[in-house]
Structure 1
C-alpha cells in the first residue's frame, strides 16, 4: 500500500484547475491551427459595418460569423453573458471589432486565418511562461545527412546559434509562440513556429530552380510558374561557381540564345553581347542592362559578381516589351544582394592566381626566313648571293644563326587577385547589405593592367506597416593601362636585336619598326584610363490598400567621370588627353495592384511613368613636342605643335508610359498584355513617340485534371507570345544638320574658316522596330529532377536605320533613313538534370543549345544588294565576300595559268562565270562570322565535402578573316635591296622542287588578291573552367566562429580545340593580345 502511495503521490500535487484551463486553451489553439492549415490561406481584408445596442459578447461573435467566413472559438464559462455593451463599427476589420468588444474585459483574442480564439489574459500569460523553454534539434539535408553550420535564429531578434558538426543545436528561453528561422548557403530558408515544442528537427531543401521560384521580370517579380514569356534565370550558385571578376564572363555560355564574344584579352576589356542574333545595321545591337530596376549605359563590366543575387535574361517581346524602345536586343536584369532579417552574416570571398599564354604562333626563325627571302629572289631570277639581298646586320644574324623570338621575350607571367568582404543582416524593419571589392589584374603582356576598387550599399527600411523606403549606392574607381598595339610582337623581324651592346632597350630597329619591349616600358609609352562612377537609387513605397495596391517612386542618378591620357616617347614625342563627365538620371513612378477573386482568378496590374535624361560633356586635345618629357600628357598647353583640340556636348531624353496586365485562371490559363509608349528626343518632330505592345498566353497542361495522375510529369507548360520592341541606338543629332570645321581660306588678305555640312539631316527619321514571335514549351519530370524548355522564335526588324549614299551633286555623302529589314529565326533548348543523388554523392548537369539564322530581307527599301558593305538580300549580315581559293597552279599548267596572268606557284582563283578572267563577278560568299550553333554544358559533382565542376563552351560554324590565323602574306613588300616584309608563319610554301597545293610561292612585291587565303574556320570547343573545392568540416572551424569555410583551386581556359591557326578563335584578331590560361587558389568564408 505504501508502495502505491509513493508511485501516485505526485498526482495529488497537480494544480488541476489551472492545468485544465491551459489544456483547454491549447486544444482550442491546436484545433484552429490544424483547421486553418487544411483550409488554406485567408486574407483578413473583410470589413464589418453594423450597430448593436445592449447586447452581450456572444451576440457580437454571432454577428461576426454571420457576415463573414470567420468562426469564433471560445470557452462559454469564460464569457460574462450578463455584461451588456453597445458597439458601432463602420468598414472596420475583425481586429478592430474585437478590440472594441473586449475593451475593459479580461479577455484577449488570436486571429488565425478564418478562426478567432477568445482567451483569458491570465491564461495567455500562464501559457507563455509555462511554455518558454529550451529548444533542441537536429538539422539534416534531404538525404538525411547532418548539416553543420546552419544558422538558427529567433525571428525578429539577433538571438541565434550555429549547428555543430552533427547538425545539432540548442536554444534556451524560447517563447512558445516564437518562430525559428533556419538558413544555410545553397538551401531554402525555413521558418518553423515553435508551438511549445522542445525538440524541432528540420530537413533543409536545396535551393533549386522550380516552378514556384520567384524571378525578376522587370518592374516587379513573379512566380516562375506564372511566366508567359521566354526568359532564362541564372541563380546565385551559377554566378559564384566561376571565380571571374566580370559578369560577361559569368554569363557566357550559360543561357540559350545569348552569344557573348570576348572583345579582346586586355584587362578590363568588355565583351560584345547578342541576344537572338544581330538585328540592326546602323543602330546598337547591345541588350539593355538593368541593375536593381535602373537601366545602365555601361553594360556589365562594372558589376561585381560577388554582389549579384540573380540574373534574368528577357528574350522575347512578352518579357522585354515592358522596356519598349530599348528592348529590341533583349534585356538583362541584374538583381544585387540585399539584407535579410536575422543576425549579421559576414562573408569573405577571395582568390589569387597566375596566368600564362601557352599558345605561340609558328613564325619563321632567322635561317628559315633567310631561305624564304632567297627563294623569292630565286623565283624572280634576281638571286646571286646573300650580300646582294641582305644588309650587313642581317648577314651577321644569319652567320651567327641568331634569332630573336619576340613572343618569348614579351610574354610574361600574369597575375590576378580579387577580394570581396560583405556584411548582410537586419531586423524586422531594417535590412542592410554592404560590400567592398578590390580587384587587380596584370596581363601576360607587360604594361597591360587593370585595377578597380568598388563598394555597394543597400538598405531597406520599414517606417511603418504601410510605408517603406530604401537606398542603394554603388561606387567604383578603376584604372586601366594598355601598351601599344601588339602587332610588332608578331611582325618584327627575327633578325633584329632588341638591345644595344650596352644592354639598353632599343627604341627602333634598323628598319624603323618600334621595339615592343621599349613600348612596354611605362615611361616610354603610356595609355591609361581613369574612371570613377557613382550610381545611387532612392525609393519610397506606400501600401495604399495593404496586400493589394502599392505605389512606388524611384529616383536614380548615375555619374561617370572618365580621363584617358596617352604619351609616346619619340624623336618628337606626342601626347593626348580626352575625357569628360556624364550624368544619367532616371525618375520612375509605379502603381501595382494584385488580388485573387473567387479563389481561381488572379490578376496583377502594373502602371509606370518614367523620365530619363542623359548629358555628356567631353573634351579632347592632341599635341607633339613636349618641353618636359616627365610631364607626360599633363601639360599639353605647352606643346610645340597643337594638332587638335575641342569640346563636345551630347544630350538626349526619354519619356515613357507603361501598362502591364497579368491574369491567371485556376493556375491553368495565363494571359499577359503589355503596352509601352516611349518618346525619344533623338527622333524627328512628329516621330518621337512610339507604341510597343505585346501579348502572351500560356497553358499549364500539367494542372489539368486529365494530367494530375501522370506522376512522372511535374511540369508541362505551353507558351506563345507576340509583340513589338524598338531601337534608337543612334547619335542624338541624326535628325539635325551638323557642321564640321573645314579648311582656312584667304580672302582679301584675311583668313576665313569655313564650315561644312556632314550627313544631311533627316526630319522623317522614326523608330526602328522589331516584331517578335515566340512559341515555347517548359517541362519537368520526376519532381523536377529533370527540367527544361524548348523555344522557337521569329524576329523581324523593320524600318532599319541605314546610311543611304547620296550623289555628289547634293553636297552630302549620305543620309540616315528607315529603309531596311532583317530577320532572325532560331531554336533554343535548355535542360537541367540531377543525374545521381545519394547521401554522399550528387551529379547534376546544365545544358543549353541554340541556333540562329540571320538574313537581310531588304535594303534601302528594295531588293538590291549593297556589295560595298558586303550586304546581300537573303544572306546573313556579317558575311565574308571574296574570291574563291582553288589551290595552287602547278608545273605543267603554265598555259592555263597564263590565261589569268598567273604562273605555277601562284594561287588559283575560281573563275565562277567561266569568262577566262578574274574580276568582281567572280567574288562569292565564303562564309559568315555568325555561328551555326552555340552551346554550353556544366557538370557538377559533389562527394561528401568535396565539389568539382567543369564548364565547356562551344561555338560552331563561324568564319573570320585572319592573316596569321590562316597563311600569312607570302609576299615581299618591296623590290628594293635589303627590304623585306613582316615576319610570317612558318609554312610549307610552294617551290618547284617541293610543290604544295595549299600555300603559294613567295613573291617580291605585293599581290592584289593576297588575302584569298586569310579566311579561316574559327569554330572551337573550349573548356572554360574546372574547379575543385573542399568544405572544411564544421567541428574544425566552429571555434573560429565560422559557419562555412571552403577552399578551392580553379583553372580557366585550360583547353581549346580548334582548327584555327591563330592565337584565339574567339577574338580571331591578328594583332591583339592573345588569350591566357589562369590558375587560381581561392577561399570562401562565412562568419
Structure 2
C-alpha cells in the first residue's frame, strides 16, 4: 500500500511539473544579428502570443513541452520546443530571409500586386543583380538582364548614359525611350541623376496590360524604380567603397604602324604620283603612337554610404554618393555628388506622412584628347619636335602638312559644364478603413545646367575669329501630383483590388545661349568680347492631366481578371484631339491551384492573356500652331522680319498602339522557373513630318501618316541547380526576338528615304517602305572586285530584251542604283549569367549576346579607303581579307591607288557587317567576412572585371554600338568614344 501511495505521489508531481508555467524570454534577430521589432511569437496551436519590442526582445508565458513559433514578414518561420527545468528559460531565435515570400509582392503601376495575381508581362530585377556594373548610368545596369529589353550602353566617355528600347521601335520620328517612374513619380524618358546605389529594385512593364494605365506615356514600355527605405529596428549603416581602373579596347580594329603604312603606300600601282614632300624609305622608321598619346589608365572611384532605421512611428533613410572618373582618353574628368533623404512618419495608425528630398551635382572638365585623331593621324607625324616642344598647326615637319595638331589647341582650349538637380516630395497615406486607403504623391524637381566653352585666338578653332567664348544655361522645372483612392478587400474566395486616381504633371524649360568672338588670350569673360554673336533663347512648356482606374478580381487564387482605363489630356495637341482614351483587359489562370492538377513536379503553372492600347505624343511641343521665327538673314528694306517656321495641324492626334499578348509561367520542383511571352503590337496614326512644297515657306508638316507593327517573343529561364547549406549554384538565361515592319505610309506614298547626314564618304540612307523593317538600309549593293582589273564592282538594275528587270555589275559607282538591303534589327538577343556560392565565397559571371542584324561600319570608309584618303592612317586587313594585286586574284579589296578616284570607299553594302556577338559583360569574385560577433561590421570584398572580351566577326572596335546622348545607333562612326574595360575592387561594410 505504501508503495502504491508513493508511485501515485511521484506521478502527481511529474504531472504538476509538466503543466507548470515557464517564463520564456529571448531576442529575435536576423542572420546579421539585427533585431526584428514586431516579430510574432506564438504558442503553436493556440492564439496565445506576443510581439517583440523595438530591440527584438520578448517575454511569454508557456508550458513545458509547448512549441513556440517565431515569424516575421519576409522571413522563414522558425519553431522551438520548450524543454528544460526551472521557472525561466531563455530562447533566442535567428530568422532567415525568405526570398520566395519577399518575391510574392511585385511593384506594378501605381501600386503593388501579389505575384500570383499578375496578368501582364513584366520582370523585376533586384539590387543584387544590378551590382555587377560600376556606372553612374542606371540604364547601363539593365544590359542583358531582361528579356525583350535592348540596351545600347553608354560609350566609354565618363558620365555617358545608355539607351533602352523595349519590344522594338514603336515610332518613326519620336523617342523610343521608355517612361521612367521613381517611387511612384513620373520623371521622364531617362532615370536622370539617380544614384544606382539607392536602387532596391527595378520592374520593367512590357505589355499593354501593364502599361495601359500610363496611357499616352506608356507606348515604349515603363520602368519602375523602387529606392531603398528604412525599416523598423535599430540603426543600420552601410558603407561601400569601390575603386578601379579603366582602359580602352581596340576590339578588331588595328591601324597600321609607320612601316606597314609605308609598305601599303609603296604598293600603289601609281606610287610615282605620291606628292608628299618627305616621301622616302626613312618613313618606315617613323612611328609615333597616337593611340598611346591620347590614352592613359582611367581611374574610377565610386563611394556611397547609407544609414537607416527607426521605430514604428518614425523611420528614416539617408544616403550619400560620390562618383569620380578620369577618362581612359586623357583630359576628361567627370564628378558626381548626390544625396537622398526619405522618412516615414506615422503619428496615427491611420496616417503615414512620407517626405523625401534628393539632390545631385555633376561636373565635367573637358580638355579631352581627340578620339578621331588617335586613329586617323599618320604615324609618320609627331606632335612634338626633337626638343619636345608641341608642333603648331600645318607644320612643315609633318608629312600631312595640312593637318592640325590637336595637342596645340589643348594648351589653351577647354570646356566646362555643371548640372544641379534638386527633387523634393511630400507623400502621405490615409487608411480610411481595413480595405480603403487614400494616397497622395507630390513632387517638385528643378534642373539647372551650365556650360562654358573657350577657344583661344592662337588655336585652330579660334584663330579665324580671334578667339571665341560661349555660354549656355538651361533651367527646367517639373511638377507632379497624383491622388489615388485604393480598394483592397477579400471575402470567402473572392478578392478585389481596385484604384481610381487623378494625375497631373507639367514641364517648364528656359534655354539661353550666348557667344562672342574677338577676345584677349587667357580671358574667358563675355564682357571682353569685341564682337557679340547672336544670342539665342526660348521657353518650352507642356502639361498632361489624366484620370485613371484599374480593377483586379481574383477567385480562389485560380482565376484573375484585370482591367484598366485611362483618359489623358495633353497640351501639345489641338482642340480637335486634345484628349485620348487608353485601356487594357487581361486575365490569368493559375492551373496548379485546380484540384484536378496533380503533377508534383510542377510547382506552379499559369497562363496569361492580355489586350490593350497605349499612346504616344509628338516629340515637339506645339505641332498644332503656326509658328514664326525672327530671322536676321531675311530682311525687307534692310529691316529684319519674321518668317513662318511651322504650319500647324489642329487635327493631329495620338499615336495609338494596340498590343495582344499571351504568356506562360511555370515552375518545376520549386527550383526551375520558366516564363514565355508572345506579343503583337500594331501602331497606328504614326506621327511624321510629311514633306510639302517649299512655296509654303516650310519643308514639312506634322501628320498622322503611317502604321508599324512589332511582333515577337521573350523567354526567361532561371534554375537553382544546387542548393545546400554550403554550396549554391544558380543559372539564368533570357532571350528575345522582335520583328519590325512598316505597314502603311501616308497617301499613296510607296517609300520614304531618310538620310543620316553622316560620313565624309556619303551619308547612309534608310528606307521606309511597307513590308520592310523601319531600320532597313538603302544603298548601292557591293558586287565585289573584278578579278582581271582589280576595279570595284556594284550591282545595277537594267532591263533585258523582254523588258524584265535584271541585275548586272558595273564599275561605275554612279550607274549603280540604291536598293533596300538588310536591316539593323537583330534576329534575337539576350543574356545569360551564373552565380556560385561556396560558404563565404561567391563567383558570378554575366554574358550578353546578339545574333543577326547589320552594322554600317563608317570607320572603314576612312580607314579602309583603298588609297582615297592619303591624309589619314589606314586599318590592317583582317584575317580572311585580301588586296587585289594582279589579274586573276580573287580578292575582297580592290586595287589600291594613290588618291583613288574609283569611289570604292563610298557608301555601299561593302561596309555592312554582321553585328552578331557574344560578350562577357562582367566577372566578379567575392568573399564575406562576418565580424559581428566581435561587434565589428560584416564585410564583403569583391573584385570585378567588366567588358572583358567579345567574340564577333565585326571589324570595328565593338559590335555593341554605344549610344550617344542617350540615343541608340546602328552605325559606327570613327569618332565614337570606344568602350572601356574596367577592373574594380570593392569593400562593403554593414553595421
Structure 1 residues 773-816: Cα deviation after superposition (integer angstroms, max 9, x where no partner): 11001111112x10121000000111000011112333321001
Give the counterpart of 2:287 among 403, 409, 413.
Answer: 403
Equivalent residue, structure 2, for 1:1074: 978
Equivalent residue, structure 2, for 1:611: 504
> By how many angstroms is 1:567 displaced?
2.1
1:505 maps to 2:390: yes
> By how many angstroms is 1:398 displaced?
3.0
In structure 2, distance between residues paired with 1:720 and 1:607:
23
In structure 2, distance between residues paired with 1:183 and 1:236:
22
> By how many angstroms is 1:431 displaced?
1.4
Please say if residues 863 and 873 of structure 1, whose CA atoms lie closer than 8 Å, have aligned partners that are also in contact.
Answer: no
Map 1:696-845; keep pairs closer than 5 Å: 696-707=586-597, 709-744=598-633, 751-783=638-670, 785-845=671-731
> By how many angstroms is 1:843 displaced?
0.6
Structure 1 residues 679-699: Cα deviation after superposition (integer angstroms, max 9, x where no partner): 000111121100001100111
Equivalent residue, structure 1, for 2:801: none
In structure 2, distance between residues paired with 1:585 and 1:836:
49
Q: Which runs of 5+ in 2 are unaligned?
A: 41-54, 63-67, 396-400, 755-765, 798-805, 962-971
> By how many angstroms is 1:932 displaced?
1.1
1:4–1:530 distance in 2 versus 1, CA, 3 Å: farther
> By how many angstroms is 1:373 displaced?
3.2
In structure 2, distance between residues paired with 1:579 and 1:370:
49
SS of residue matched to 1:592: strand
More moved, 575-584 vs 664-673 = 575-584
Equivalent residue, structure 1, for 2:436: 549
In structure 2, distance between residues paired with 1:609 and 1:7:
78
Please say if residues 468 and 518 of structure 2, whose CA atoms lie closer than 8 Å, have aligned partners that are also in contact.
Answer: yes
Give the counterpart of 1:962 among 853, 857, 860.
Answer: 857
Map 1:638-717; keep pairs closer than 5 Å: 638-707=528-597, 709-717=598-606
> By how many angstroms is 1:1072 displaced?
1.3
Q: Which runs of 5+ in 1 are unaligned?
A: 27-129, 140-146, 158-170, 892-903, 975-979
> By how many angstroms is 1:367 displaced?
3.0
> By how many angstroms is 1:180 displaced?
10
Greater RCO, 1 or 2 (C-alpha within 8 Å, sep 6+)? 2
More moved, 526-535 vs 910-919 = 910-919
Map 1:69-80; keep pairs closer than 5 Å: none
> By how many angstroms is 1:154 displaced?
4.4
1:641–1:238 distance in 2 versus 1, CA, 3 Å: same
SS of residue matched to 1:359: coil
Please say if residues 39 and 70 of structure 2, whose CA atoms lie closer than 8 Å, have aligned partners that are also in contact.
Answer: no
Equivalent residue, structure 2, for 1:437: 321
Equivalent residue, structure 1, for 2:950: 1056
Structure 1 residues 608-664: Cα deviation after superposition (integer angstroms, max 9, x where no partner): 101111100111123332224242xxx224323333321110000001000111100
Please say if residues 236 and 309 of structure 2, whose CA atoms lie closer than 8 Å, have aligned partners that are also in contact.
Answer: yes
Which is greater in Rg?
A: 1
> By how many angstroms is 1:1028 displaced?
0.4
1:250–1:228 distance in 2 versus 1, CA, 3 Å: same
Equivalent residue, structure 2, for 1:1014: 911
Could you say which structure has the higher strand fraction? 2
Equivalent residue, structure 2, for 1:328: 219
Equivalent residue, structure 2, for 1:938: 833
Equivalent residue, structure 2, for 1:81: none
SS of residue matched to 1:867: strand
In structure 2, distance between residues paired with 1:796 and 1:12:
82
Equivalent residue, structure 1, for 2:481: 587
In structure 2, distance between residues paired with 1:370 and 1:222:
68
> By how many angstroms is 1:15 displaced?
15
SS of residue matched to 1:870: strand
In structure 1, distance between residues paired with 2:299 and 2:663:
44
SS of residue matched to 2:553: strand
Give the counterpart of 1:365 among 253, 257, 270.
Answer: 257
In structure 2, distance between residues paired with 1:204 and 1:967:
64
In structure 1, distance between residues paired with 2:2 and 2:596:
70
Equivalent pairs counted in the alignment come to 916
> By how many angstroms is 1:468 displaced?
1.3
Equivalent residue, structure 2, for 1:576: 470
Give the counterpart of 1:529 among 403, 409, 417.
Answer: 417
1:539 maps to 2:427: yes
SS of residue matched to 1:176: strand
Equivalent residue, structure 2, for 1:53: none
Please say if residues 317 and 722 of structure 1, whose CA atoms lie closer than 8 Å, have aligned partners that are also in contact.
Answer: yes
Structure 1 residues 191-221: Cα deviation after superposition (integer angstroms, max 9, x where no partner): 9899999465757555435796111101111
Please say if residues 152 and 183 of structure 1, whose CA atoms lie closer than 8 Å, have aligned partners that are also in contact.
Answer: no
1:679–1:193 distance in 2 versus 1, CA, 3 Å: farther
In structure 2, distance between residues paired with 1:248 and 1:920:
45
SS of residue matched to 1:964: helix
1:10–1:467 distance in 2 versus 1, CA, 3 Å: farther
1:317–1:134 distance in 2 versus 1, CA, 3 Å: same
In structure 2, distance between residues paired with 1:15 and 1:1059:
83
Map 1:1-400; keep pairs closer than 5 Å: 131=23, 133-135=24-26, 149-155=32-38, 174-176=58-60, 188=75, 198=89, 200=91, 204-205=95-96, 207-209=98-100, 213-297=104-188, 299-359=190-250, 361-376=253-268, 378-379=269-270, 383=272, 389-392=275-278, 395=280, 398-399=282-283
In structure 2, distance between residues paired with 1:872 and 1:949:
45
> By how many angstroms is 1:262 displaced?
1.8
SS of residue matched to 2:373: helix
> By how many angstroms is 1:173 displaced?
7.2
Please say if residues 151 and 183 of structure 1, whose CA atoms lie closer than 8 Å, have aligned partners that are also in contact.
Answer: no
Structure 1 residues 398-418: Cα deviation after superposition (integer angstroms, max 9, x where no partner): 357111121122121011111
SS of residue matched to 2:622: coil
Equivalent residue, structure 2, for 1:1031: 928
Structure 1 residues 708-762: Cα deviation after superposition (integer angstroms, max 9, x where no partner): x221111111101011101114111121122233345676xx6300222123211
Please say if residues 539 and 555 of structure 1, whose CA atoms lie closer than 8 Å, have aligned partners that are also in contact.
Answer: yes
Using structure 1 for the length normalisation, give the TM-score: 0.79
1:507–1:277 distance in 2 versus 1, CA, 3 Å: farther
> By how many angstroms is 1:826 displaced?
0.5
Please say if residues 246 and 297 of structure 2, whose CA atoms lie closer than 8 Å, have aligned partners that are also in contact.
Answer: yes
> By how many angstroms is 1:509 displaced?
4.6
1:587–1:446 distance in 2 versus 1, CA, 3 Å: same
1:866–1:1074 distance in 2 versus 1, CA, 3 Å: same
Equivalent residue, structure 2, for 1:478: 362
> By how many angstroms is 1:842 displaced?
0.9
Map 1:990-1001; keep pairs closer than 5 Å: 990-992=884-886, 995=889, 997-1001=891-895
Please say if residues 343 and 426 of structure 1, whose CA atoms lie closer than 8 Å, have aligned partners that are also in contact.
Answer: yes
1:450 maps to 2:314: no
Structure 1 residues 808-861: Cα deviation after superposition (integer angstroms, max 9, x where no partner): 333321001000011000010011110111232111111111000011111124
1:875 maps to 2:772: yes
In structure 1, distance between residues paired with 2:748 and 2:370:
41
SS of residue matched to 1:418: strand
More moved, 866-875 vs 329-338 = 866-875
> By how many angstroms is 1:996 displaced?
5.1
Equivalent residue, structure 2, for 1:487: 372
Structure 1 residues 442-473: Cα deviation after superposition (integer angstroms, max 9, x where no partner): 22101123211001111011121111111121
1:484–1:367 distance in 2 versus 1, CA, 3 Å: closer
Could you say which structure has the higher helix fraction? 1
Please say if residues 967 and 1014 of structure 1, whose CA atoms lie closer than 8 Å, have aligned partners that are also in contact.
Answer: no
1:173–1:603 distance in 2 versus 1, CA, 3 Å: closer
Please say if residues 760 and 812 of structure 1, whose CA atoms lie closer than 8 Å, have aligned partners that are also in contact.
Answer: yes
Equivalent residue, structure 1, for 2:45: none
Equivalent residue, structure 1, for 2:763: none
In structure 2, distance between residues paired with 1:812 and 1:443:
43
